[in-house]
Every structure is written in structure tokens, then in C-alpha cells.
Amino acid sequence: MVYVALITGFLLILMGLYGALTNRNILRMTVAFSIASTGTHLVLVAVGYIPGRTAPILDGAVTAADASLRIIDPVPQALVLTAIVIGLGVTALMLTYAYKLYETKRTLDISKYTDLKW
Amino acid sequence: MIKKFVALLLLAGLGLMFVGLLLGFTPDQVLNTTASYYADHSVEDTGAANIVTAVIVTYRGLDTLGEVTVLFLTATIVSLILTQPRPSGTPIIGVAEKKALSSGELLQTGTRLLVPLVLLFGVYVFVNGHLTPGGGFQGGAILASALLLLLLSDPTKRFNHRLISRVESISGILYVVIGVLGLVLAGGFLDNRILPLGAFGTLFSAGAIPVIYTLIGLKVGAEFSSMMVTLSESRDR
Amino acid sequence: MVSTLFIIAGGLGAAFLLGLLREEWRGFAYGVTLAALAFMSWVAGSWLWAFVFDGAVGVDVFTAGHNPPFAINLRMGLPEAVLVLLVNAMGLMVGVYLKGTLMRLGRRAMAVLLVAVLALCGIILTRDIFNLFVFIELTAISTAGLVLLSADARALGAGFKYLVISQIISILLLVGIIFAYHATGTLNIDGMAEASVALMKGGTLAFFLILMALIVELKPFPANGWALDIYESAHPAFSALFSAAFSAAMLFAVDKVLLIGGEPWPKIATGVGIVTFVGSNLLALSQTNDRRLLGYSSVAQVGLVLTVIGQRAVLGEHYLFVVGGILLAHSVAKAGLFWVSGLVVERQLSAWAVLRQNPFLVFAFATFMALLIGLPPFPGFYAKWELVHALVSEGRLALVVFILFGALLEVGYLFRWFGYIIKREASVESAMSKPVAFLPRKLVVIGVGVVSAWGLGYIWGALSDFANVLQALPVLFALSFLALEGLPAKLKNTLAIVGLVAFFAISYENYNQLQLIFGAIILIGGAVILLASYETHGKRIGFYPSAMLMYAGLAMLIVAEDSFSFFVAWEILTVGSYFLILRGKFSEPHALSYIIFSLGGAFAILAGFALAAGGAPRIPLEALAQVPATLAPWVFILLAIGFMTKTAAIGLHIWLPGAHAEAETDVSPMVSGILLKAGLFGLMVLLLNMGKTQFYGVELTYVLLWIGALSALLGNLMAIFQEDAKRLLAYSSIGQMGYAVFGLAMMNHLGWLMALMFVINHYVYKSMLFLSVGGIAKRTGTRDMYRMGGLIALMPLSFIAVLIGIIAVSGVPPLSGFGGRWIFYNAIMTADARLPMILIFLSGPVAFLYLFRLIHTIFLGQLKDEHRRLKEAPFWIVVPQMIYVVFLLGFAVFPGLALRRVDAFLNPYFPNGGLNWEGLTISSDFGYWSPVSIMITIGVIFATLLAWLVYLNHNAQKVKQFNIVFAAERPYRPETTHFAWNFFAPYRKALGFMVQPFVTQFWDGLTGSLHHTAQFTRKLYTGNGQTYAFHLLAFVVVVYLILVGGLV
């Protein structure tokens, strides 16, 4: 189970990066990066998973006393939240940039934005 | 073609590293030191039933403050970019003159029905963040989705930027103030024990966590809204 | 003490507060922003104060009231305090600088700036790896926002490229962090270090990914196209922040993370760093856009710091001193240069000539340039010294070579740029328009940069184990002229002369005989040349600080007792003389090649000293004698090459003719008569201490002998074919220095005596000749000899000076040159180097040819029509010449005054073969020399001949000058019909092959191929964001493969 999630996550990263490297369209690149970040998030939570355990929330089923034996690692879950939010921020920024870039040259082809080089 | 080949080659290299990581990976059987400390101590330390919340809001509160700042920053930059006058000489994009198509009866009525419920749900999610799955970010996102719904049903709708930015700023400032209070009154920056921890498992418990999560919820909601609103308004500028 | 957290809380609170303000209250919002930045700087500053003056120790700041690793902690120690102060102060300055832009864009832009600054502080302070990630992302996002402060529409593209890169970085970082967490069970960096992640399975790769992500943020070559694009297009104030503060914070992050450690990582840091340093500096050579050039330079400097970070173990307790010195120097200098670039409207490098309108800006540029290169007295200088010594003592010689090579490339493009500023026309447009008004606010910010630069220099000097360069009296004296720049030149000249003489008066008692000779030439001789400077009018801005800096360096050089102070003096005199040489009207390319050769030589000296020191921070110069035999030849070679760049030995001479010939009238004698002696002094120190040294069976002094002989012959040969009188004199210096080197290399008593005689003679007659030729050139408006002629009647004093001068140079009786020759021939007879001896003998008559030409074509022959109204050379230029004439005559009669002492000084070193100084006659094993009787004899002969000539003169028949027009040859250019044109054409036919510019071609080829490489390689940066992503991934994969392949 953990391995499935991990492998899926890694594959998503690679797929996303492939998309970002081969698509010239800025919007497609942005989407590709979203896919790759999703893969990263999957890897993140998968690493914290312990087979047979439950979510790190104390309630009737899991009490404070036996929590350390029953719950999975809460840290990656906390991290992934942060990572998701940050990823979202960057994506929003990329989209805004895409909009602005389109405004200047009327194209979304990244290979057209090479005024700066060498 | 060559580009794709090179891309595949490079990704194969990266994949090699991932394979290395996978091969070296053995799932934990027990919690590691950090995690078991949280499992054992978060109740007495923070009074939160949701350990993830305890980690997010208190133990790693600085991360979360940073995270909120990321959203703040993004929202700020998005509006900074989009409200900047476009370089002179570039034509206006899109079809500003054409009136937007009506979004349809179903969506409009549904919106009227759903928006209050969605807002309520959002508030519920962040207020109960220390007890149940969810929290400020999730609640904030839900709040913002209500706004999205409104925008979908009426794309030409205008929102009060000033209100949004006030909510955002005030909650942000209060968040920082609570953090500093933790430094002054309790053990450190963002320590939640500036308020009594209360009875475990109740709404008014876990010290400042619900307050912080409420502020985060409002702030995140406001930030998402601000981003969406600026993006949607930029279309017909 | 205010908690560190208030830096973050204060910045964040202010940023959120800005959101509350009305859009219209921009002034208020701006005030809030500056107040917040000032508050944050104050907190950082108060910590630094506490660490430095109150002896506070570093503290960990816990958040959330729990201990690490369970909660995030921040650390505030001395390095953190320095960097946080740097970041905040830089933020404040940028805030001030950006006032216009920020007011235009409103509170949002200000909030982004605040967040950027606090995020950088977070990167520096945090001890949690994931928290580090959060702050890095904050930095990345705020960068994407701040890039847009620029008015340049292309910045948008650059920002997007950066976002693409930062996406990949965050993926690598996150995957790395989570696996490192899995391996160690903690996110705390110190905790990870204890758990020694490298030992755990899977941890190595995780750490590799973390490190790579951080290193990629440092813009490693070649995966750094995105950064260059940002530098080129962003607002210069942001580029200043990006270069200075962002890099500093990220470097600290790398340093922090490297604590987690393991064997290969420091090597990777060093490897990536040095490739970046050399690669980026190389590519910078072919840049014409100022900001992109600064970008390349930034990237390179960061690479250097990364290199040093990787060498932490080698540096030991000096680590912070070295790494901090380089980093702070880079930060202040680069920020300063970017700020200056904001004042320049056009982007090509030569447009910076507009700075010339404000001397302060020129000074600022020079300060930042010296700070960046690491010239004394700036921190980089001390750091460079320590670094090279540490690396050499560990045997990392290849690394030292790369570092020095990269630094030399940097010297090349920065000094070339400085040359543009001083010499080029700004542009057609700005030349037409009225002087540019620079915004006072921006000037203040730049001023703060300049003050911090000098302040850092002082601090590093005080922190170093060595004497503080900024406390050396000569340096202070030279620098004080900067404050006096407003005074008229004549007043400053008096001060300078008084200063030189006074310094000689207070220090001559402590000089030994050798130092006395050099000291007298430098200080008294310098003062005499300065008499000629009374001729100039106005303020002559820039002349006195440069000249006095050169004299300061020279004065410090001769009293230097250990390797460090020698090297300090060497660099100071080099830099001072560069500024001096650059003042000449057409001397831009020559000054550049001078500084490149000189600093290249200085680096050789540095490496030589480091090799000799063998781990010690410095050695007394006498300890050169104790260098182990295995190293000795290498030390000898390095030092000798370094010194011979100054004496312009053949092969290293190409800078000299232009530099000396194009310099101002009173500067030529300084750089020729005095400056060249520094190289000789160095060689003397070297030979006195190391003596004869074998290198794979080759006697190195024998090689020097050959170099001296060849320099003498070829220098003289090249001199005879010059049309330009000052160039002729310059080439002749190469020859003269060749004699001196030859004399020293003979390693016997008389050889040295002759070399010292040359030191004195060469100073006198070369100064005199340069002054008289300079005076003539001033009157005639040309230096081409065929444009002159018949000036003897109009300029009798100059004629006398030249006549006496050439008699002295050519070594015919009765003047001191003959004494030199006499000693010289005696010396040669005691040595057994036949072949070089023949060369030396041969070059004697050659010297006579060009000297004859000098007097014949300038003073004799027919007067040109346009010269009929000429007057004698200006009074103040003639005065020193007459002093020299008197001195030469006196020295000719009583050479013993100076030489006796030298002879005595040489006795302990070369006990055999001294001269016998009895009465008025000097005798050796081979014969005797009686100056007085020679003088009388020659005087009588001269008087007789003169009388006879006067008697015959009424029979003289005038010859028309241009009658060769009717010869068989058809003139292509009018000057070719003049008898003085190509005066020695027959000799050229015979000997021309020896003066082909092979050496010049060699060096041109070398620099040319460097430029071509740069031109070709920089095409790598296609400008396509996707290509940059490829570069990044390829970079990571390649480093990984190198790592797996076990190459490090």
C-alpha cells in the first residue's frame, strides 16, 4: 500500500516534469507542474503512513493513552498541508504571469519569450 | 524529438534517484521520536484532539505563519501584477464588449440556496479544527468557494475589495499579535497556552488554537477571494 | 535584548498592516515600510552589538513554548547576527533607493519587499529543515513579485523562468526533506546532524536532493540562465537585494545544511563552486550589458563562497573570517554596483562614462571594484591571503590555481569597465545633453555602501592576525588626499612633496643601506618628480590619491619584513600606479594590460609566499632561505615571475611601452623611474634570501641571466625602431631593466653593485629624459620625432638635459653611466656566462643607436615651420631636469658617495670581489676607474673639439631637408620623405625579425581565445525557460552521476 502510493507519487512527479519539459505552452506547463506537485504531496503522506493505523485524531476510538500505538505519523500530514498551500500559491502566481505574458506578446509559447539570453 | 529524448533521459536520471530512495525505504513500524512525542504529549501540551492541528498550529506554528504569508504574498502579487497598467501599445484581450452569457437559472438559484450553507460549513470547519479533521486552511478554502459560486453564477458581480483586504489584514495582524502574546505571556512565539486549555474535546479548549484557526480561516478565505476576484476582474479590464 | 522573533513578527505585522491602509496613503505606507525595516535592522544590530561588545553568546529561540526538535527553533549567533543585519540593512537601503517605484506601485509592492526581507531573515535564523523550505518558498515567491518592480517588460519573462525553476527546486527539496525525516525521525537540522543521516539507508540520497535544491538556488554554472535574466531585467535596486542578501542567506542555508555532513558533500560544494566561479567569470568577459555582466559576476562570487564553504575543514578557525570576508565584500560591492547602475540610463558598459561627471561616483565605483576583487585594504584581501595559505598548506594546489585564474578574469573585466568609465565618451546623446542630475537619495544610498565598504575593510584589518592596512601611516596619508580633492592642485602638490620628504626624514634612520638607496629614490626622487607637477592647473582630481597610494605602497614595500606586509605593499603600489597610468589620454588599453599583468604577477607572488609559508599565516622574508629544497624552486619561479611582471622582463613586457608612453608628462617618470624599481627590489629580496636554486638540474639564476640578457637586447632593439619619443624611452626601460636583472642574476658582488648603480642611474636619467621629452611634446603637440627637429636653439635647457641623459645612458665617459658599465664589465669578467654576455655586449651599441636618434632628430636638423615660435619647456618641467643634470655630474665625479655604502652592504652576502675605494680612484681585479680624472680629460677634449667646431662653422653649408623626394622611391605618405622617419631602416632590414611582435601576438591570442570561448559558451543560455529547466535537471543528474561514479 505504501509502496503503491510512493511509486504513484514518483511517477506523477516524473510525468509532470516530462510535461513541463516538453510542452511549450505556458498554461500546459503550469498544469504539468501542478501534477508534479501533487505527486510530491502523495510521496509526502505516503512516507508518514504506517500500515494498519488510523488518523492522528483523538476521539472515542483512539484515546490519548494508546495514541502512540494507534495513529500514523502526524508530521507528514502537517507538512503536506503547508506544501499544498505553497504549491497553490506558486500555481496562482504562474497563472497570473501567464496572463500578463500573453498580454505583452499575445502568445503562450515559452520559446517566444527569449528576449533575455546569453 | 531530440528534446523529448533528452527529457526522457534526464527524467530517467531523476527516476534513478527515486528508485534509490524507494529501495532504501522501509515503512515505519512504530512512530519515530518526534511523532511519538506528539502522540504522547500533544494533549497535555496543547489540549487539541486533532494532533495534526496541534502540530500545525502550535509545534510548527512558524511554518503555518509562513504558509499564511505565502498566500498573503501571492494574493498581493497577483493583484499587484493585474492592477498594473498594461504596457502601452498592447491590444486589449478578450471580448470586453460582449456581454457575458447568463449562467442559467439552475446555477443562480442553487447559489442563493447554497452560499449561506457553504459559508456556515466553512466556519464550522475552521472553528472545530482542533477537534475534527479540517482547520483554518480547509475552512478558508470553503469560504472562498462560496465566493467562487457567486462569481460563477454572476461573472460580472463586483465585490468589495476593501472589505476583503481589511478582513485579511486584520486577521493577519491579530495572528501576529497572538504569536507575540505567546512570547510575552507563555513559553514562546505562537504558544497556544495564553488561553486556558479548557476541557479536552470541547469547542472552547486547546487554548488559542481555535482563535488562531479562526483567524487563519478568515485570512485564507479572504486571500483566496482576493485572488479570484482580481483574476476574474482582470478579464474584462 | 529584544527577541529575534521580533524581526519576523515586526516585518510580518507591518506587511499585514499595509493591507489595512488606504491605497491613497502611499506616503504613510512608505513610512511604515521604512520604519519596519529600520526596526528589524535595529534588532539585528543590537544583537550584533551584544555579541561583539558585551560578549553575549549565541542563543536558541524556541517557538511555541516547546523544545526542539518538537517545535521549530531559531538560532541567533554571531554569524546569524551579521547576516541578518546585512539583509535588513540592505532591505532598508533598497527601500530608500526604491522610493519612487514604491510610491508609484503602492502598498502592495512595499508589503512584498517587507516579506522578502523577513523571509531571508527566516532562512538565516531557522534551524528546522522544513521551516527552511517555507522561507525559501516565501523568498522565491517574493522574488517573482519584486522582479516586476522593473520598468523593463522583459522582466516578466524572467520572473516566469524563475517560477519554473523554483517549482523544480521545491519538488527536489520536498522529496529530500521527507525522506531525510523518515531516515532520522526529526526535521531539526542539528538533530539530523546528530543522527548522521548519511549513515542511514536512503538518507544519503535524501540529503543529496536537499543539498542540490539549495545549491541550485545559488545559481550554479551552467544551470543559472534564469538568474542572469533576472539580473539583466530586474530593477537594479532589487538586483542589489537579490545579489547581496538573497545569495548571502542561501549560502548560509547551505552552510547550515552541510552540518548534516558526510564525506562527499563539501567536495561537491567546492566542485560546483569553483566551476561556477571560473565559468561565470569567463563568460562575463564577453558581456556588454552592464547588469548582465554584474549578474555573471554575482554568480561567480557566490560560486567562490561556495567553494570556500566546501573547504571549511581546511580553514579551521579562520573559516568565518574568510567566508565572511568574501561574502560581505561581495554583498556590499555588488549592491553598490547595482545601485550605481540605476543612475546610468543606457545599458552598454561604455555608457557608464557618464559617472565621470561626479567624482564621488568614480570613487564609489573604484571602491566597489576593489572590494569585489579583494584588493587591500578590503576584507576580500585578507580572506584571499588566508584562503590561499590554507589551501596551499593542504596541498590543494589545483584549487588555488583555479581560484586565482578566475579572480584574474574578474580583474580583467572589472578594470576594463573602469577604463571605460574614465576614458570613453558616454554616448552621442548624453554628450550633447547637459550634465545628468543624479538623485540625491540614490547618492546617499551609494554613499552608505561606500562607507560600509571602508568600514568592513577596517574591521577585517582589525580582526586579522596582521597589521591593519588602514592604520598604516603611508596609506592614511594617501587616502587623506581624497578628502582634500577640493583644493587646488598646486596646494596639494606642496602637501605631497612635504609628505614624501617628511616621511623620508622620519624613517631614513631605520633603513639599511639597500633600503636607503631605494627609499631615497622613492621618497626624495618622487618629490623631485613632483616638482614638475606644479605645471598643472585646476584641481587635478584623482591624481594625488593615486600617486600617493603608489608611493605609500613603495615606501611600505622596502621596509616590509614579512611576506604579508610585502604583499600588501605590492598590491597597494600596483593599484595606485594603475590609477595613475590610466590618467593618460590614450592609455586605457595599456593601463588594462598593466593591471592584468601586475595582478597576475601579484597572484603568482601570493602563491609563492603561500607555498613557502607551509601552513604558517605568514613568514619573515628571511625565512625564504629555509624553504625545503623540494619546494624552493617552485617558490623561486613563482616569485620571480611575479617580480618580473613589474620589471617588464621580455615576455611579460607588453604592457610597458604603452603604459609609460601614454602616461601624463609627470607620470611617465614616476612609473618608469621609480615604479619599475619595485620589481628589482623584489628580485633582490628573493635572490638575497634564496640564492641559487636548482630546478630539475637547471640553475634558475642562470635562466634569469638569459632573461635579463634577452630583455636588454630585444628591448633596445625595439627601442631603435620607434617613431614616438616616449615609446622609445619606454622600450629602452625594458632594456635597462634587463641589464639590472642580468646583473643581479650574476650573483656576484660586482653584478649586484652594477644593478644597484643601475637603480640609481636609471631613475635619474629616465626621469630626466621622460620629463624633457614630455616638455617638448607639450610644446610641439606631438611625440613623433620626425615631426620635430632643430629645437636646440629654442629649447636649450631641454637639449642639455637630453644630452646629459643620453651620455649617461649610453655609458660613455664621463658620466655615471660609464661607471655603471665599468663595474658591469668587471662583473661579467668574474662570471662565466659567455653566451648571454655576448648578448649584453651587443645591446650596448644598440642602445647608442636609439639615443643618438633621440638627440639627432629632435634637436638637430632643420626647424619645422610650425615650430618657429616655440618656447622652452615649461618652467616646472625644466626644474627637476636641471636638478638631475647637477646630480648626474656630481654622481659622475663622486660615485663613491652612494656606492661605497652599497658595497659595504653587499659584503656580508658576497664577500669576494668587492671594489677598492681608496682615494678618488676605484680599483678592481681588472683595472681601475678614476672618475675625477676622466671628467677632467673628457672636459678638456670636449672643450677643444667645441672650440674647433665653432671655428669651422663659418664654412658650413646648409642642406635642404626634403631633397630625397627626388630619389627613386615614391613616397606614399608625406612623413616618409623625412630623414627622421624610419631612421634606422637598414638595421630593420637586418634585425627586424627579432622585433616581430611575437609576444604581443601570443598574449593577444590567449585573450582572444578566452573571449571566443566565452562568446561560444554563453550561447548555452538560450533565454528559453524550458531550456533552463533542462539545464537544471541535467545539472542535478550529472552531479548525481559523478557522485555515484565515485569521482569525488
Amino acid type, C566: F
- The Cα–Cα gap between C318 and C316 comes to 5
Residue C922, H or E segment: strand C921-923
Local structure of B50: helix, strand or coil: strand
What pLDDT does C923 receive?
A: 79
Q: Is the pLDDT of residue C314 over 70?
A: yes
Give the confidence band of A116 by pLDDT, cuts at 50, 70, 90: confident
Q: What is the DSSP letter of C1021?
A: -
What would the DSSP string read from start to end of C367-424? HHHHHHHT-TTSHHHHHHHHHHHHHHHTT-HHHHHHHHHHHHHHHHHHHHHHHHHHHS
Instruction: Search chain A and give the residue with CA nearest C285.
Output: A118
C-alpha cell at B106: 439552475
ipTM of the complex: 0.97
C-alpha cell at C141: 515567491
In this predicted model, what pLDDT tens digit does every residue of C57-66 receive, in sequence order? Answer: 888 888 887 8
> What is the mean predicted confidence (pLDDT) over C331-339?
95
What pLDDT does C767 receive?
A: 92
C-alpha cell at C765: 636619467
- Count of residues for chain B? 237
Strands C59-62 and C73-76: antiparallel
In this predicted model, what pLDDT tens digit does every residue of C280-308 receive, in sequence order? Answer: 999 999 999 999 999 999 999 999 999 99
What pLDDT does C1047 receive?
A: 58
Give a yes or no: residue B23 inside a domain.
no
Burial class (CB within 10 angstroms; exposed 0-12, middle 13-18, buried 19+) of C282: buried
Contact C330, C319 (CB under 8 A): no
- The Cα–Cα gap between A88 and A94 comes to 10
Q: pLDDT: is C1048 or C861 the higher one?
A: C861
Q: pLDDT: is C200 or C386 the higher one?
A: C386
In this predicted model, what pLDDT tens digit does every residue of C15-49 receive, in sequence order? Answer: 999 888 888 888 999 999 999 999 999 999 999 99
- The Cα–Cα gap between B228 and C4 comes to 36
3-state helix, strand, coil in chain A (%, to 5): 70, 5, 25
How many CB atoms neighbour CB C325 within 10 A?
Answer: 30
Locus of grid cell 521604512: C34
All residues of chain B having their beta carbon less than 8 Å from the beta carbon of residue A52 are: none
What pLDDT does C1019 receive?
A: 87
All residues of chain B having their beta carbon less than 8 Å from the beta carbon of residue C145 are: 73, 76-77, 80-81
Locus of grid cell 623540494: C630
Q: What is the DSSP letter of C1016?
A: H
Asked if B137 is an interface residue toward chain A (Cβ–Cβ < 8 A), one would say yes
Local structure of C75: helix, strand or coil: strand
- The Cα–Cα gap between C654 and C644 comes to 12
> Which conformational region is residue C74 in: left (phi greater than 0), alpha (psi within -120 to 50 degrees), or beta?
beta
Q: Is the pLDDT of residue A50 over 70?
A: yes
Q: Show the DSSP H helices in chain B as ranges.
A: 2-23, 33-46, 51-53, 61-83, 105-127, 136-153, 161-185, 209-234
Using alpha carbons, select from C130, C92, C118 the residue that is nearest to residue C6: C118
Q: Is the pLDDT of residue C549 over 90?
A: yes
What pLDDT does A5 receive?
A: 92
Instruction: Report domain extents, chain A.
Output: 2-52+72-112
Fold adopted by A2-52+72-112:
Helix Hairpins (1.10.287)
Give me Rg for the CA atoms of chain C: 32
Residue to substitute from A82, A91, A111, interface B, most B β-carbons within 10 A: A82
3-state helix, strand, coil in chain C (%, to 5): 75, 5, 20
- The Cα–Cα gap between C817 and C892 comes to 8
Number of domains comprising chain B: 1
In this predicted model, what pLDDT tens digit does every residue of C161-195 receive, in sequence order? Answer: 999 999 999 999 999 999 989 888 888 988 888 87
Distance from the Cα of A48 to chain B's closest Cα (Å) equals 8
- The Cα–Cα gap between C804 and C1031 comes to 68
Give the confidence band of B207 by pLDDT, cuts at 50, 70, 90: confident
HSE, side-chain direction, 13 A CA sphere, residue C1044: 12
- The Cα–Cα gap between C689 and A99 comes to 72
Q: With a CB-CB cutoff of 8 Å, which residues 29-48 of chain A face chain B? A: 47-48
What pLDDT does C228 receive?
A: 92
Asked if A118 is an interface residue toward chain C (Cβ–Cβ < 8 A), one would say yes
Q: Is the pLDDT of residue C132 over 60?
A: yes
Q: Which of A20, A40, A86 sits opposite C175 (nearest CB)?
A: A40
Distance from the Cα of A50 to chain B's closest Cα (Å) equals 6
Q: Is the pLDDT of residue C432 over 50?
A: no
Local structure of B60: helix, strand or coil: coil
- The Cα–Cα gap between C197 and C253 comes to 17
What pLDDT does C168 receive?
A: 94
Residue to substitute from A12, A27, A88, A96, interface B, most B β-carbons within 10 A: A96
- The Cα–Cα gap between C935 and C957 comes to 33
Local structure of C982: helix, strand or coil: coil
Q: With a CB-CB cutoff of 8 Å, which residues 58-77 of chain B face chain A? A: 60, 63-64, 66-67, 70-71, 73-74, 77
Can you give the residue range of the structural domain that contains B180?
A: 50-84+103-234
HSE, side-chain direction, 13 A CA sphere, residue A106: 6
Q: What is the DSSP letter of C675?
A: I
In chain C, % of residues over pLDDT 70: 95
What pLDDT does C216 receive?
A: 93
What pLDDT does C197 receive?
A: 56
Residue C122 Cα distances to A86, B144, C162, C163, C200, angstroms:
16, 29, 21, 20, 29
- C71 and B21 within 8 Å at the Cβ level: the answer is no
Distance from the Cα of A101 to chain C's closest Cα (Å) equals 7
Strands C694-695 and C916-918: unpaired
- B51 and A59 within 8 Å at the Cβ level: the answer is no
Q: Is the pLDDT of residue B95 over 50?
A: no
Using alpha carbons, select from A58, C946, C887, C1027 the residue that is nearest to residue B44: A58
Contact C729, C767 (CB under 8 A): no
Distance from the Cα of B30 to chain C's closest Cα (Å) equals 11
What pLDDT does B81 receive?
A: 84
What pLDDT does C915 receive?
A: 76
Amino acid type, C345: V
Give a yes or no: residue B3 inside a domain.
no
What pLDDT does B192 receive?
A: 84
- The Cα–Cα gap between A81 and C672 comes to 72
Contact C402, C275 (CB under 8 A): no
What pLDDT does C183 receive?
A: 86
How many CB atoms neighbour CB C467 within 10 A?
Answer: 14
Q: Is the pLDDT of residue B237 over 70?
A: no
Using alpha carbons, select from C606, C636, C615, C614 the residue that is nearest to residue C403: C606
Q: With a CB-CB cutoff of 8 Å, which residues 164-193 of chain C face chain B? A: 175, 179, 182, 185-187
Q: Is the pLDDT of residue C248 over 90?
A: yes
Residue C916 Cα distances to B161, C753, C921, angstroms:
101, 13, 8
- Count of residues for chain A? 118
Give the confidence band of B46 by pLDDT, cuts at 50, 70, 90: confident
In chain C, % of residues over pLDDT 90: 52
Q: Is the pLDDT of residue B15 over 60?
A: yes
Give the confidence band of C968 by pLDDT, cuts at 50, 70, 90: low
What pLDDT does B97 receive?
A: 46
Give the confidence band of B96 by pLDDT, cuts at 50, 70, 90: very low
Mean of pLDDT over chain C: 88
Burial class (CB within 10 angstroms; exposed 0-12, middle 13-18, buried 19+) of B158: exposed
In this predicted model, what pLDDT tens digit does every residue of C793-831 receive, in sequence order? Answer: 889 999 999 988 888 887 777 777 777 778 877 777 777
The distance of Cα C965 from the centroid of its chain, to the nearest Å, equals 50
How many CB atoms neighbour CB B89 within 10 A?
Answer: 6
- A113 and C1030 within 8 Å at the Cβ level: the answer is no
Local structure of C923: helix, strand or coil: strand
- The Cα–Cα gap between C591 and C608 comes to 25
- The Cα–Cα gap between C747 and C760 comes to 19
Give the confidence band of C964 by pLDDT, cuts at 50, 70, 90: low
What pLDDT does C430 receive?
A: 54
Q: Is the pLDDT of residue C895 over 80?
A: no
C-alpha cell at C1003: 598574449
Contact C661, C653 (CB under 8 A): no
Distance from the Cα of C122 to chain B's closest Cα (Å) equals 9
Chain C neighbours (≥3 Cβ pairs under 8 A) are A, B
Distance from the Cα of B17 to chain C's closest Cα (Å) equals 7
Locus of grid cell 616621511: C503
- B11 and A18 within 8 Å at the Cβ level: the answer is yes
Asked if C1021 is an interface residue toward chain A (Cβ–Cβ < 8 A), one would say yes
- The Cα–Cα gap between C36 and C30 comes to 10
C-alpha cell at C634: 617552485
Local structure of C152: helix, strand or coil: coil
Q: Which of C105, C186, C201 sits opposite B80 (nearest CB)?
A: C105
What backbone phi and psi angles, to 5 degrees, belong to C585? -60, -45
Give the confidence band of A87 by pLDDT, cuts at 50, 70, 90: very high
Contact C29, C110 (CB under 8 A): yes
How many CB atoms neighbour CB C1030 within 10 A?
Answer: 17
